[in-house]
Structure 1
């Protein structure tokens, strides 16, 4: 069955529990096919951000979108957080549902750095890696304050974590006002927003834990050298999809073209593809989700 716009409905996510290192994470399984992909979301997001991609996957695929520690259905999973911890959790997910066969790994934004670290640490576990507008080192000037840079770059995404909302609709309206989301609103974005809600009526809030977001954000800004090492030594065929517009739906891009060119020259396993007419969020949750799905299931790379 298809929707009025011609797209088939996104598969209803099947919630699963993943035991990891003394706690349990929530994983959303989209689809029921035997081919396996594991996905990691952005810094304050959840596995529901991959619903639009799942809509376009062939029937023989299953996408396991992990709610990382401190987010979504894993919001109560304890810290410490950090890229290494999240990467270890992705490896556990791949081993749990990969059935010993090849697993495709993907991540968007912060999730791209997590997926990169997982592939660098356990290259034999993954058939290929798809990075979505993330994964390249973002050097921090020596005199910069990571917390100040984090606040300036994340903007509304960080501000909402300390706020409460009178109703679900008030929270949805907050996202509708976001310049990178509101003009491109669709049912996948709305489902993603509603999945993020928790708390009593009259004091609804995001499930993402501010402490987790801040710790992980600092690592993204201060860990450029380690991500460069991961990329340079990567053994897994890797494709980067990158958007022309950034976190607020306008230039500059999250990954400037010069940075992309530098790392495709430095990392033998890395190739890149520019995805036009999208921003940091809509590359995953807007019309380009069909491109992401196609690249996810198609062999690529130089590895």
Structure 2
């Protein structure tokens, strides 16, 4: 275990290693002030890493323990081999909970992490005490004429393109993300630390840690099958927070009232809430979005504000 003091304003955390199929998974832990406090297990998006939850950790303020793994094929878990896919991540999460959490956990995920959280709940129904999905977990209709690889590239945009790019130094990588419309208005030490965790290699050929095949398999996996059906088979009620705007800060987000209606969610099992003023990223890494997510997690954990 290592103790890490990240960039200014980012809460200090521990980095642990948990044995899973094929090797060890890296897990970030922000411990609660009370060792008996509830545990939140938080899953990141398709090209992200555990530090995407740092600003949420800030607002949780040690009232719960937050576990945020680097999923298989990303960041410090980038060297874990396949098979990839959402089911593999779900089983990895069961291993993390068994090793690091003494009982049921509040399970949450952002984007692909939300799909993973939903499938984890289905495959391991004794694991979650509550389930919070953040701008993900519900499959929406996609153009039938696009091949799966074309669809993934169209939806993920620059996040996907960067996987085959190299950067001469960390400043160049930072500049790449600062130009991204989804992050431009919410840049902070939290975001900087999160995107820097993704880099591997040596200057002048730094690159993303994300395994391209992991991203491809995981992305296609979300389009149908047991992953798409998980939201309809949940063993417990869930809440979905959805961003008003999209990945490129465009007015059309991943979800809207019509798309959610088309998904035919059971309103008694999945409660939905639009989060105004957020896009797909700032609902998690922006200050207002992270505060709302943290407050919801505390409510799900049964922790009252001081």
Give TM-score scaled by structure 2 length: 0.90
CA contact (8 A) 1:38 1:105 kept: yes
Structure 1: which 5+ residue stretches go unaligned? 1-7
Q: Write the deviation string for residues 90-138 of structure 1: whole angstroms up to 9, x where unpaired.
A: 1111122221x23100000000000100011112221001100000012
1:18 aligns with 2:18: yes
Q: Secondary structure at the match of 2:222?
A: helix
Q: Write the deviation string for residues 36-78 of structure 1: whole angstroms up to 9, x where unpaired.
A: 1111100000001000000011423111101011101100000
Q: Distance in 1 between matches of 2:128 and 2:276?
A: 28
Q: Which moved more, 1:180-189 or 1:164-173?
A: 180-189
Q: Distance in 2 between matches of 1:252 and 1:131?
A: 19
| 1:253 Cα offset (Å) | 0.5
CA contact (8 A) 1:264 1:272 kept: no
Aligned partner of 2:215 in structure 1 is 213
Aligned partner of 1:289 in structure 2 is 290
CA RMSD of aligned residues (A): 1.7
Deviant stretches of 4+, over 6 Å? none
| 1:257 Cα offset (Å) | 1.9
Aligned partner of 1:169 in structure 2 is 171
CA contact (8 A) 2:9 2:190 kept: no
Q: Distance in 1 between matches of 2:22 and 2:86?
A: 18
| 1:267 Cα offset (Å) | 5.7
The counterpart of 1:149, out of the listed 148, 151, 154, is 151
Change (3 A) 1:96 1:177: same
| 1:190 Cα offset (Å) | 0.7
Aligned partner of 1:49 in structure 2 is 52
Aligned partner of 1:91 in structure 2 is 94
| 1:11 Cα offset (Å) | 2.0
Change (3 A) 1:228 1:169: closer
Q: Secondary structure at the match of 1:123?
A: coil
Structure 2: which 5+ residue stretches go unaligned? 1-7, 302-306
Q: Secondary structure at the match of 2:126?
A: helix
Q: Distance in 2 between matches of 1:171 and 1:83?
A: 28
Q: Which moved more, 1:137-146 or 1:103-112?
A: 137-146
The counterpart of 1:75, out of the listed 78, 82, 103, is 78
